[in-house]
Amino acid sequence: MLKRKIESDLIQWKNRRHKQALLVEGARQVGKTTSIRSFAKQHYESFIELNFERNPKLKDIFMDDLEPKTIYMNMSAMGLGPMKPGKTLIFFDEIQSCPQARTAIKFLVEDGRYDFIESGSLLGINYKDVSSYPVGFEEHIRMYSLDFEEFMWANHISEDVIQELKQCFKDQCPIPAFIHDKMMKLYYQYLIVGGMPNVVNEFIETYDINEVIRIQKDIIASYRDNISKYAEGKKAKVKEIFEAIPEQLNKKNQRFYFSSLTAEPALRSYEGAITWLNDAGIASMCCNVTQPQLPLSFNQKRNLFKLFICDSGFLTAMSYGRIQPNILKGELTINNGAVVENDVAAGILKKGFDIYYYDCKKPLQMEIDFLIQYQGGILPIKVKSGDDYKKHPSLDRFMSQYADMDQAIVFCKGNIEKDGKLLYLPLYMTGFLENE
């Protein structure tokens, strides 16, 4: 079974003296249910799982009043148990399909006899059906597909090597060349495999790229099915946006242009569709900022944005032509630079940062791929997928224009190198940025 970082989050939650229910959000098939089941087996004497999509009859448990004693009696009548006070974890899976269960969480937590975890993939989609949110009785965490460190675990990279990488990152000193070369080769594999657990498992068991692509396309097809099932009146526009993302990212500046779509090219017409994809965890929006000033969210311009796919493996599988062989050889420039930038975006998001970008034409042309709020300031980030990663005139102009910036990062093929305010980091190190 794959080792996941969420395991430590779940243990910390369990050990809290005054626990709320834990709501685990994330896109479908990122491994939420598997991780929660594994955690329950190790830390509880009794585990009760209610999956409201697989067994819709379970919704009947919450059809009467929402008193805990009534709910527990209904659960018992359905053969669910045993329920041992203080030793039982009750898991509401796909809770978006049973809004009454979400409402009942407040009363169940107040009752205090059992621990509760909720999980769902489309929680932002069905929010209108929840009559009362359990504010103050829920703790939220978001789970993503495997990041590169988890991918290293899956590929049996030793903890000593990982700690060496982290120390080099901390000290801003070069990684031993042999280790760096090995990690870059592994990173090329990660770009085409991505982090979906089923895909990663297939890869480490068979190393069959054709099977990897087949599973990726099956998951993508299931996402399309979810759009048809849950997007209601927006399904045509949600599908249109989703299918357009690879082509849009392949453009020079990766910005999303509505003019390339077949329907009315206006944000007001598509905003609901973009929000749907974001809430479903399928895509993430990266907005332009008019000024690199804190807080960045106050300066965002929501009609200028990029859209990134949640998993780099999906982007390679959705791209035109078969680009996987080129990526495995480290050819990341022509038509493949978008895959690298998408992966960097995903890696930053997985660390809990909000992402923005900066694009200014006058008086100086300055294009910065990402801006994040980092250690009390703003951190500019440039992504360079080619061998000429030390050529970045836009970033140079930006750092000259905004001399108060303490540092900028260039994610690239090269080793760690410090050059004044510029820090060159290998592409596989996005996950080493820590969100304070």
What distance in Å separates the CA atoms of residue 194 and residue 47, rounded to the nearest whole number? 31
Angle at Cα 45 formed by Cα 39 and Cα 50, nearest 5°?
65
Is-contact 146 154, C-beta < 8 A? yes
**Residue 349 vs residues 94, 143, 255: alpha-carbon distances, Å:** 23, 11, 18
3-state SS, one letter per residue, for 8-63: HHHHHHHCCCCCCEEEEECCCCCCHHHHHHHHHHHHCCEEEEEECCCCHHHHHHHC
Q: What pLDDT, on the 0 to 100 scale, is given for residue 127? A: 46
Q: What pLDDT, on the 0 to 100 scale, is given for residue 133? A: 66
The two beta strands, 88-93 and 46-51, are: parallel
What distance in Å separates the CA atoms of residue 373 and residue 293, rounded to the nearest whole number? 10
Is-contact 30 197, C-beta < 8 A? yes
The two beta strands, 422-426 and 408-412, are: parallel
Is-contact 121 78, C-beta < 8 A? no
Of 48, 17, 49, 20, nearest to 111 by C-alpha is 20
Residue pLDDT, tens place only, 29-45: 999 999 999 999 999 99
Per-residue DSSP letters for 174-207?
Answer: PPPHHHHHHHHHHHHHHHHH-S-HHHHHHHHHH-
pTM of the model: 0.92
- CATH of span 6-142: 3.40.50.300
What distance in Å separates the CA atoms of residue 294 and residue 249, rounded to the nearest whole number? 27
Q: What pLDDT, on the 0 to 100 scale, is given for residue 279? A: 86
Q: Is the link from the previous residue into 363 a cis peptide, with omega within 30 of 0?
A: yes
Phi and psi for 13 in degrees, rounded to 5?
-60, -45
Of 242, 12, 235, 33, nearest to 139 by C-alpha is 12
Angle at Cα 319 formed by Cα 142 and Cα 233, nearest 5°?
60
**Residue 169 vs residues 24, 184, 209, 379: alpha-carbon distances, Å:** 30, 15, 31, 16
Tokens of 272: 């609901």
Q: What residues of the chain score a pLDDT lower than 50?
A: 127-128
Q: What pLDDT, on the 0 to 100 scale, is given for residue 334? A: 61
Q: What pLDDT, on the 0 to 100 scale, is given for residue 259? A: 61
Other CB atoms within 10 Å distance of the CB of residue 182: 14
Would you give the DSSP letter of residue 93?
Answer: E
Question: Packing angle between helix 6-14 and helix 32-43, nearest 10 degrees?
Answer: 50
Q: What pLDDT, on the 0 to 100 scale, is given for residue 132? A: 61
Return residue ranges of the chain for CATH 3.40.50.300. 6-142
